[in-house]
């Protein structure tokens, strides 16, 4: 009986494992192999284990890496901050929480591609909405997406707008599980709302924050849809992100070998992040 | 003092809420007015539907919508079956290597299929599956998130129920189907909503593996429909955008409460 | 017994001929891009419909695949994964890359009659420059363009300029541009003199400026580039000066995609853009506008641009013949005329301009002939091996200069060095 059970376990797991191997683990192996021994379609038929040397030598790669890091460093905390604020508001007793919840959550429902088109008009420098509004204050001609100094931040703004509402939901769920008695007790002791937030709400939300943090971080690396509409990584790579650069190399330049080397870098980043998550942070979270 | 603070906080909340909904309101504005009002706000500008007609005639939205629907459903169906089976095994059967298998699966929470576009594309090209619904769906079917959620949910099912079903002579699959699935219904609903809204909006992978209208979903259709190269005509793009998000948006507005509630169920507590 | 065999044989023969009849319907799949405004897919569909009506034995599936890059990726993806694709319209400058990938065959290998050979010579020679490699024709011009200068005659009048005289050289461009640039009381510019787009296809616009300096950016074999030539550097400096020194153009980047909208909303009096936008501008402009050749420095000039027909190698002989038929049909004077009128793209052959339709159209709307007239000053568009990567090098260099991150010499020298590294293996 026990033996058949074991066999059954593997049978039940088989579909998932086969798919997982076929579309995650085998590809990881192939990526590594190709990044070392592979050659792009156009490289001639000689294996060129020089992909990593090229990587170190490629100023665009370093720029892209820097962009990706900055992008994560800003969008992740900002999304979390907005998500938490929104959740607190919507969970509170302000008038119109229904409308607020709807409006915060709507961006999540819309495809990135569609909203990028709308934001493109907002950012457009001569006819765009943002500059029209700034025009009332006598400022003009900000080239949001065209100026390398502002382009990446413009993309970040849109990303935060898109993401915050999604994470708000998770905070909202967590907030509703916090027992009202805790707050009542704090109130009787005349604690300030800031104190309550710092000592009760925030610590109890820690697991959610961790979950949101990991997801936001992952999204900051994998969500690049808006680049296709807004900037295509330009101007002069100011908004090029790692995954978009991989796409460009593989599907525009047909250089799969170099794209594989770049993918290995991305995998390394993700694995390090996973290790940090499982190792360091997990221990600090109080369940 | 505290009152002014509250007032301040709620006015910020309101401003933010208005800012957040603004792009969508703007899309409605642009779509229902002729192009000259796209950048000029005139309160009583005449409403019109011609942008929708033009958008509708310029791209096969019905076909895109059908494709999107088919892809989302196919993905979800595959996920529900595969994840249910795996989740049961991980939740209720003890076997050597369980922890290892579980960590293998959890790893995929980090390394999602988007990361491996280069290799996954090669695989599907070798299988001659490019430009099919299956190609768009298959890398997502063994969903780590789904397995994880269902495993949690299955673990909370009392063992007595399973034992009782066994006594009645139910097979393993019958037990899963009759005992576990009904009890995990809220998780299924929540997961289904997350999955559908994810795949309805998914872009990068479908862009890579679809070639033609045979399988091209709305997002990809919309990206070439509104490609900046062709000179952006916002009135029409906004109309096209509204056409493509209409089904999901409508469902969302009608079932808003239930929707968010189930989303919250899916949240990790 | 004998009759039986006979019967069987006839039956078989009938069956064979029947199946031959069914099989005789050749199926063609063609990918094509659209990179300018308007409902161009409808126009392609209607031409294809006409073709199918004339050739009931050929079935054509025309697939719109996005921009030029998308079309190339999708067509090659189809080939890679065993899906049918016998011909495609792709970027005229993809030719070296497509040859390196061993994806295409020259038309010379598919044609047989002397009439066909004559046909190969029937197009505007300037449009063939990007399609001929080693004396073989790989690309037949279809949606071809040059860069032209659109200008707003009403704004010219308002600025006290002659609306029939567009700037004919760089100096005039600057002078007129200054008159056309308007500021409000705060000193903010409300109307620009000119705009040259610097996203999307910056290397293309740069090709025009360098040609006007009397310089070419690469050799015919596509294995050498000349980015760091003093003339190229001067051309880029001029482009930058239009924004920084002369201030007739916004500083920094100008969006390719939103430029037409800027022109239509009279935010700029002049724009440089593909002639493929002509019909879209004509339909939407509610002011008097003109089209002129690009202004000259040492000479006039513009690169050609746009898409050519290519034949794929892995098609069967029959399919190749059918594909040839389709290409011939779509580039025939009559269809080329229709295509040109509907879009603004060029009539690809002199004969197209002799058709009644296009001749009448040009007479009633003279701007339609500008692109053709400009052809005698035209040069090939930047086209090399690994063209995607090389193009990006130049695009990045141009953008970094326009944004003030590097000076022209530094940026172009570095781009040249990197291009050399990539191209050296093809020499």
Kindly state whether residue A42 falls inside one of the protein's structural domains. no
Q: Which of B3, B6, B8, B17 to mutate against chain A (most A CBs within 10 Å)?
A: B17
Residue of chain A whose Cα is closest to the Cα of C202 = A235
Residue C349 has what pLDDT?
92
State how far residue C35 is from chain B, nearest Cα, in angstroms.
Answer: 5
Alpha-carbon separation of residue C32 from A11, A84, C90, C276 (angstroms)? 47, 47, 6, 15
Tell the burial category of C134 from Cβ atoms under 10 Å away from its Cβ (0-12, 13-18, 19+): exposed
Q: Which of C249, C72, B46 is nearest to A125 (CA)?
A: C249
Residue A280 has what pLDDT?
61
pLDDT (tens digit per residue) in C43-54: 888 899 999 999
Kindly state whether residue A47 falls inside one of the protein's structural domains. no
Kindly state whether residue A25 falls inside one of the protein's structural domains. yes
State how far residue C328 is from chain A, nearest Cα, in angstroms.
Answer: 29
Chain B contact for A279, CB < 8 A? no
Taking 70 as the threshold, does the pLDDT of residue C13 lie above it? Answer: no
Taking 80 as the threshold, does the pLDDT of residue A63 lie above it? Answer: yes
Contact (CB<8Å) C257/B57: no
Instruction: Select from 2.60.40.2310, 3.40.190.10, 3.40.50.2300, 3.40.50.300 the CATH code of C25-145+305-379.
Output: 3.40.190.10
Q: Distance of alpha carbon C243 from its chain centroid, rounded?
A: 27
Q: Which of A65-79, A124-138, C14-28, C51-65 tops mean pLDDT?
A: A65-79
Q: Which CATH number is C146-303+383-426 given?
A: 3.40.190.10
Looking from the CA of C400 toward its CB, the CA atoms found within 13 Å total 21
Contact (CB<8Å) A132/B39: yes
Tokens of C197: 């787009």
Tokens of B105: 């699966």
Q: Which of B135, B205, B222, B231 to mutate against chain C (most C CBs within 10 Å)?
A: B231
- Give the domain ranges of chain B: 61-266
User: The whole model's pTM is what?
Assistant: 0.89
Q: Which of B227, A232, A227, A54 is nearest to C391 (CA)?
A: A232
- Shared domain for A10 and A59, answered yes or no, is no
Report yes or no: C92 and C381 within 8 Å, Cβ to Cβ: yes
- Shared domain for A5 and A98, answered yes or no, is no
Q: Distance of alpha carbon C20 from its chain centroid, rounded?
A: 40
Helix (H) or strand (E) holding A27: helix A26-37
pLDDT (tens digit per residue) in C291-304: 999 999 999 999 99
Question: Could you tell me which residue, C20 or C159, shows the higher pLDDT?
Answer: C159
Contact (CB<8Å) C100/A138: no
Residue A45 has what pLDDT?
47
- Shared domain for A25 and A150, answered yes or no, is no
What average pLDDT does this structure show over B119-144?
91
- Shared domain for A15 and A148, answered yes or no, is no
- Give the domain ranges of chain C: 25-145+305-379, 146-303+383-426
Taking 90 as the threshold, does the pLDDT of residue A113 lie above it? Answer: no
Taking 50 as the threshold, does the pLDDT of residue B192 lie above it? Answer: yes
**Separation CA C308–CA C133 (nearest Å):** 14
Chain C contact for B2, CB < 8 A? no
* Identity of the residue in C262, C267, C405 whose CB atom sits nearest the CB atom of A236: C405
With contacts defined as CB-CB under 8 Å, which chain A residues touch B16?
Answer: 82, 85-86, 104
Q: Which of C27, C81, C143 to mutate against chain B (most B CBs within 10 Å)?
A: C81
Band (pLDDT 50/70/90 cuts) for residue C5 is low
State the total domains in chain A: 2
Taking 80 as the threshold, does the pLDDT of residue A40 lie above it? Answer: no
- Shared domain for A169 and A117, answered yes or no, is yes
Question: Could you tell me which residue, A93 or A284, shows the higher pLDDT?
Answer: A93
With contacts defined as CB-CB under 8 Å, which chain A residues touch C386?
Answer: 42, 253
- Shared domain for A130 and A18, answered yes or no, is no
Q: Which CATH number is B61-266 given?
A: 1.10.3720.10
Q: Which domain holds residue A31?
A: 1-37
Q: Tell me, what CATH number does A267's domain have?
A: 1.10.3720.10
- Shared domain for A77 and A23, answered yes or no, is no
Chain C contact for B204, CB < 8 A? no
Computed from CA positions of residues C75, C80, C83, C85, in that sequence, does the dihedral angle turn out positive or negative? positive
Residue B40 has what pLDDT?
67
Q: Which of C192, C252, C386 to mutate against chain A (most A CBs within 10 Å)?
A: C252
* Identity of the residue in C36, C64, C65 whose CB atom sits nearest the CB atom of B231: C36
Report yes or no: A263 and A246 within 8 Å, Cβ to Cβ: yes
What residues of chain A, 96 to 155, have a C-beta less than 8 Å from chain B? 96, 99-115, 117-122, 127-129, 132
Alpha-carbon separation of residue B37 from A14, A127, B45, B48, B188 (angstroms)? 58, 12, 7, 11, 45
Taking 60 as the threshold, does the pLDDT of residue B262 lie above it? Answer: yes
Residue B41 has what pLDDT?
67
Which residues have CB under 8 Å from B71's CB, separation 6+? B133, B136, B137, B199, B206, B215, B217
pLDDT (tens digit per residue) in C222-240: 899 999 999 999 999 999 9
Question: Could you tell me which residue, B267 or B123, shows the higher pLDDT?
Answer: B123
* ipTM of predicted complex: 0.88
Q: Which residues face C88 on adjacent strands?
A: C31, C310
Residue A156 has what pLDDT?
95
pLDDT (tens digit per residue) in C251-286: 889 988 888 888 998 999 999 998 888 888 888 889
| Percent of chain C predicted with pLDDT > 70 | 93
- Shared domain for A112 and A174, answered yes or no, is yes
- Shared domain for A160 and A240, answered yes or no, is yes
Which residues have CB under 8 Å from B183's CB, separation 6+? B153, B157, B161
pLDDT (tens digit per residue) in A252-262: 888 888 899 99
Band (pLDDT 50/70/90 cuts) for residue A127 is confident
Contact (CB<8Å) C189/A140: yes
Against chain B, the chains showing at least 3 CB pairs within 8 Å are A, C
- Shared domain for A5 and A81, answered yes or no, is no
State how far residue C116 is from chain A, nearest Cα, in angstroms.
Answer: 33
């Amino acid at each position: 009986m026990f033996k058949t059970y074991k066999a059954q376990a593997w049978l039940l797991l088989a579909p998932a494992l086969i798919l997982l191997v076929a579309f995650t683990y085998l590809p990881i192996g192939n990526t590594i192999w190709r990044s070392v021994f592979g050659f792009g379609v156009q490289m001639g038929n000689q294996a060129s284990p020089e992909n990593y040397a090229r990587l170190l030598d490629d100023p665009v790669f370093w720029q892209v890496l820097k962009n990706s890091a900055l992008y994560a460093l800003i969008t992740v905390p900002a999304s979390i901050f907005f998500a938490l604020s929104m959740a607190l508001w919507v969970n509170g007793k302000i008038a119109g929480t229904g409308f607020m919840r709807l409006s915060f959550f709507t961006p999540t429902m819309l495809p990135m591609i569609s909203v990028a088109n709308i934001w493109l008009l907002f950012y457009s420098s001569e006819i765009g909405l943002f500059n029209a509004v700034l025009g009332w204050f006598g400022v003009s001609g900000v080239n949001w997406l065209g100026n390398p100094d502002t382009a990446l931040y413009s993309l970040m703004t849109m990303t935060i707008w898109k993401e915050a509402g999604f994470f708000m939901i998770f905070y909202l769920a967590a907030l509703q599980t916090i027992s009202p008695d805790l707050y009542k007790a704090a109130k009787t002791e005349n604690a300030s709302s800031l104190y309550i937030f710092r000592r009760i709400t925030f610590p109890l939300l820690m697991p959610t924050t961790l979950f949101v943090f990991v997801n936001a971080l992952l999204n900051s690396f994998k969500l690049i849809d808006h680049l296709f509409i807004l900037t295509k990584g330009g101007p002069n790579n100011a908004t090029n992100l790692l995954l978009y650069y991989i796409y460009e190399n593989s599907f525009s330049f047909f250089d799969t070998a170099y794209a594989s080397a770049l993918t290995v870098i991305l995998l390394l980043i993700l694995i390090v992040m996973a290790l940090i998550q499982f190792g360091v942070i997990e221990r600090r979270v109080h369940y | 003092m505290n009152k002014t603070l509250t007032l301040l906080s709620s006015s910020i909340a309101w401003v933010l809420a208005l800012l957040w909904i603004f792009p969508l309101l703007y899309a409605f504005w642009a779509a229902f007015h002729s192009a000259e009002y796209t950048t000029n706000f005139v309160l009583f500008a005449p409403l019109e539907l011609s942008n929708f007609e033009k958008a509708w005639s310029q791209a096969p939205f019905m076909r895109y919508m059908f494709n999107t629907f088919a892809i989302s459903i196919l993905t979800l169906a595959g996920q529900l079956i595969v994840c249910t089976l795996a989740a049961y095994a991980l939740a209720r059967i003890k076997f050597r290597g369980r922890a290892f298998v579980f960590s293998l699966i959890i790893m995929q929470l980090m390394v999602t299929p988007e990361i491996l576009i280069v290799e996954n594309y090669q695989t599907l090209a070798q299988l001659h599956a490019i430009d099919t619904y299956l190609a768009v769906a298959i890398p997502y079917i063994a969903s780590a998130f789904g397995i994880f959620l269902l495993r949690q949910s299955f673990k909370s099912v009392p063992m007595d129920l399973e034992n009782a079903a066994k006594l009645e002579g139910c097979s393993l699959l019958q037990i899963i189907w009759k005992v576990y699935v009904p009890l995990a219904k809220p998780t299924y609903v929540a997961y289904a909503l997350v999955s559908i809204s994810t795949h309805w909006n998914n872009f990068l992978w479908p862009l890579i593996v679809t070639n033609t209208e045979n399988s091209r979903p709305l997002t990809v259709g919309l990206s070439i429909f509104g490609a900046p190269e062709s000179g952006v005509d916002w009135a029409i793009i906004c109309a096209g955008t509204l056409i493509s998000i209409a089904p999901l948006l409508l469902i969302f507005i009608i079932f808003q409460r239930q929707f968010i509630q189930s989303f919250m169920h899916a949240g990790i507590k | 017994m004998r009759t039986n065999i006979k019967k069987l044989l006839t039956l078989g023969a009938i069956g064979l001929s029947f199946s031959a009849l069914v099989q005789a319907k050749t199926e063609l799949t063609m990918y094509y891009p659209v990179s300018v405004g308007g409902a161009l897919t409808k126009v392609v569909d209607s031409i294809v419909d006409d073709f199918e009506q004339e050739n009931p034995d050929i079935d054509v599936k025309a697939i719109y695949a996005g921009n030029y890059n998308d079309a190339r990726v999708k067509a090659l993806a189809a080939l890679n994964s065993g899906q049918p694709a016998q011909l495609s319209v792709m970027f005229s400058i993809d030719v070296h890359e497509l040859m390196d990938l061993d994806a295409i065959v020259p038309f010379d290998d598919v044609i047989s009659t002397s009439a066909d050979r004559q046909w190969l010579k029937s197009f505007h020679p300037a449009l063939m420059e990007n399609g001929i490699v080693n004396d073989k024709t790989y690309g037949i011009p279809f949606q071809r363009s040059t860069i032209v200068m659109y200008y707003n005659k009403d704004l010219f009048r308002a600025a006290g300029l002659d609306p029939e005289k567009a700037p004919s050289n760089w100096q005039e461009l600057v002078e007129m541009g200054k008159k056309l640039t308007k500021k409000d009381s705060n000193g903010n510019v409300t109307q620009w003199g000119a705009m040259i787009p610097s996203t999307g296809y910056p290397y293309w616009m740069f090709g025009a400026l360098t040609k006007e300096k009397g310089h070419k950016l690469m050799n015919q074999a596509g294995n050498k580039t000349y980015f760091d030539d003093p003339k190229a550097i001067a051309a880029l400096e001029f482009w930058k000066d239009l924004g920084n020194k002369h201030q007739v153009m916004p500083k920094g980047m100008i969006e390719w995609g939103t430029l037409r909208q800027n022109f239509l909303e009279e935010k700029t009096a002049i724009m440089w853009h593909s002639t493929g936008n002509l019909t879209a501008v004509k339909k939407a402009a509610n002011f008097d506008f003109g089209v002129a050749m690009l202004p000259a420095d040492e000479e006039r000039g513009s690169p050609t641009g746009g898409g050519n027909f290519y034949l794929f190698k892995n098609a069967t002989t029959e399919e190749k013949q059918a594909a040839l038929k389709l290409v011939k049909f779509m580039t025939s004077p009559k269809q080329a005329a229709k295509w040109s009128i509907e879009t603004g793209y060029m009539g690809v052959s002199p004969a197209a301009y002799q058709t009644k339709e296009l001749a009448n159209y040009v007479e009633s709307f003279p701007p339609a002939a500008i692109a053709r007239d400009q052809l005698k000053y035209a040069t090939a568009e930047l086209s090399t091996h690994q063209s995607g990567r090389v193009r990006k090098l130049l695009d990045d260099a141009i953008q970094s200069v326009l944004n003030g991150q590097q000076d022209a010499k530094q940026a172009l020298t570095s781009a040249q060095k990197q291009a050399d590294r990539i191209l050296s293996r093809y020499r």
